[in-house]
Amino acid sequence: MLMGRRAQTTACGSTWACGRGTWWNRLFVGDDSNTFWALTAGILLLVAYVGLVGVIEGSTRRRMVTTGAARYIAGAAGAVLGVVAFGRAIVFGQGNDLVGTDGFFLSGVALEGRTSVSAATSGSLLFVQIALAVMFSGVVLSALVERATYTAHVVVGVASGGLLVPIVLRATSDNGVLGSISFGDRGFIAGAATIFAMAGWLALIGAMVIGPRAGRVGSEGQLRAIPGKSASGAAIGGLLFFAGSVGFAAIPSAAWGTEVADAAVGIAIGGSAGALVGSAICWRSEGSVSTIVSVQGLLAGIVAVLGDPLAVTPLFAVVAGAAGGAVAALAASAIERGRIDDPVGVIAVFGAAGMWGSLAVTSDSLDQLFAQVVGQLILAAWSIVAGGILFGALRVARILRVSPELEIVGLDG
């Protein structure tokens, strides 16, 4: 959970008193170590978001040359403002087990960066929450590309940062709905995979409500293949996501510790295993290796080890990442057969692999498996209801999808 902190001290009372280079040591082992790590993790998460945008751009058609970036910025900006206006208060404010009821619009919040300040008011921790909301909104909106309006991007961004993600973060606290789940001595473990599973459910509901892209469905009801404009661009985006994915280790705990390095190794191994398995499945079925499928396997492998990234061993990372690549491939096939248009494959890559990642942490305990299953069922129910309300309201208000004419000529028209 984001609220995890770890107090540390230094024997050197002054920045320069202990000799050359002490300022650098203080960043990692001094009073500011947690702050520095949280800030770094937030930056890495934003790098991963840039990578996600690259995957989106490479996997879709040349329909938003001049306005595509504006839509991604709109969704990200909406998520940031949603966190500032409501999200921080819902997670950390005084209230009940579901929502916080004070501190809206950062009222009464001192954004100091010292670790001596509580987690609820740390500016660096708030930055992690902002970066997570930006990533979450990007995953959900990826399922709606080429046909969602600019306004829809803003609304989904605000809802992600201001309500959807914060409620789940609060629910995973010790007294929250998810945090209080336990069987025997095992409780629900919520890592970044939990957030991605939720994003996958919302993306699924959004794709179903908005419908397929124009020209995607054939005369006999089958989905036609629509190649993306740049496989190499998607590959670069996937590698950027790979580089920034270490930031996800801050989701269960924003405190610095040696386990962060273990998480980085596990994420690298899991992503690599997922990429190879995804490529092998593609080669087996198609006779060649698709760059887009390899990228999707890479991302699915990363997501699969994020159920509890601070407790990942190399062997676990290999197994979980490889299985994540396979799960995503199977889910993508099922989604295709269900005639659901997901241009980037986020429902399979983040949703299905996220659920697998959450369940994968149960390898040593049946009680843990029960806790994870119940937690995922609650999360799925919440996501489906929230997604139905959000996207249903946008559709009823006629601001979810662009006009048929604009969709045909492209969103730059």
Backbone φ and ψ of 112, nearest 5°:
-90, 155
With 70 as the cut, is the pLDDT of residue 351 above it? Answer: yes
The rounded distance, in Å, linking the Cα atoms of 332 and 342 is: 9
Asked whether residue 350 carries a pLDDT value surpassing 60, the answer given is: yes
- With a cut of 50, say whether residue 296 has pLDDT above it: yes
Per-residue model confidence (pLDDT) at position 211: 96
Residue 121 has pLDDT above 70, yes or no: no
* Tokens matching residue 358: 């959450």
pLDDT category, 117, cuts 50, 70, 90? very low
Burial of residue 195 (CB within 10 Å: 0-12, 13-18, 19+) is buried
Question: What percentage of residues in the chain have a pLDDT greater than 90?
Answer: 65
CA atoms of 390 and 371, how far apart (whole Å): 28
Tens digits of per-residue pLDDT, 175-207?
Answer: 888 989 999 989 999 999 999 999 999 999 999
Rounded to whole angstroms, how far apart are CA atoms 233 and 55?
7
Residues of the chain with pLDDT > 70, as a percent, come to 88
Look at residue 23 in the predicted model and tell me its pLDDT: 33
If one compares 98 and 396, the residue with the highest pLDDT of the two is 396
When pLDDT is averaged across residues 17-44 and rounded to a whole number, the result is: 60
HSE at residue 303, side-chain half, CA atoms within 13 A, is 36
- Mean pLDDT for 335-363 is 95
Q: How far apart are CA 122 and CA 357, in angstroms?
A: 29
The three-state DSSP-derived secondary structure of the chain is CCCCCCCCCCCCCCCCCCCCCHHHHHHHHCCCHHHHHHHHHHHHHHHHHHHHHHHHHHHCCCCCCCCHHHHHHHHHHHHHHHHHHHHHHHHHCCECCCCECCCHHHCCCCCECCCCCCHHHEHHHHHHHHHHHHHHHHHHHHCCCCCECHHHHHHHHHHHHHHHHHHHHHHCCCCCCCCCCEECCEECCCCHHHHHHHHHHHHHHHHHHHCCCCCCECCCCCECCCCCCCHHHHHHHHHHHHHHHHHHHHCCCCCCCCHHHHHHHHHHHHHHHHHHHHHHHHHHHHCCCCHHHHHHHHHHHHHHCCCCHHHCCHHHHHHHHHHHHHHHHHHHHHHHHCCCCCCCCHHHHHHHHHHHHHHHCCCCCHHHHHHHHHHHHHHHHHHHHHHHHHHHHHHHCCCCECCHHHHHHCCCC
Q: Which residue has the tokens 């002054």?
A: 14
pLDDT at residue 5 in the model: 27
Task: Decide if pLDDT at 13 tops 80.
Answer: no
- pLDDT, one tens digit per residue, over 230-280 is 999 999 999 999 999 999 998 877 777 888 999 999 999 999 999 999 999
Query: Does the pLDDT value for residue 363 go beyond 90?
Result: no
pLDDT classification of 65: cutoffs 50, 70, 90: low
pLDDT tens, position by position, 153-163 = 999 999 999 99
Spatial separation of the C-alpha atoms in residues 102 and 364, rounded to whole Å = 40
- How many residues are given for the chain? 413
For residue 9, pLDDT beyond 50 = no
pTM for this model (two decimals): 0.90
Q: Is residue 308 very low, low, confident or very high in pLDDT (cuts 50, 70, 90)? A: very high
Mean pLDDT for 361-378 is: 92
Q: What is the mean pLDDT of residues 66-80?
A: 90
Least confident of 40-44, 97-101, 323-327: 97-101
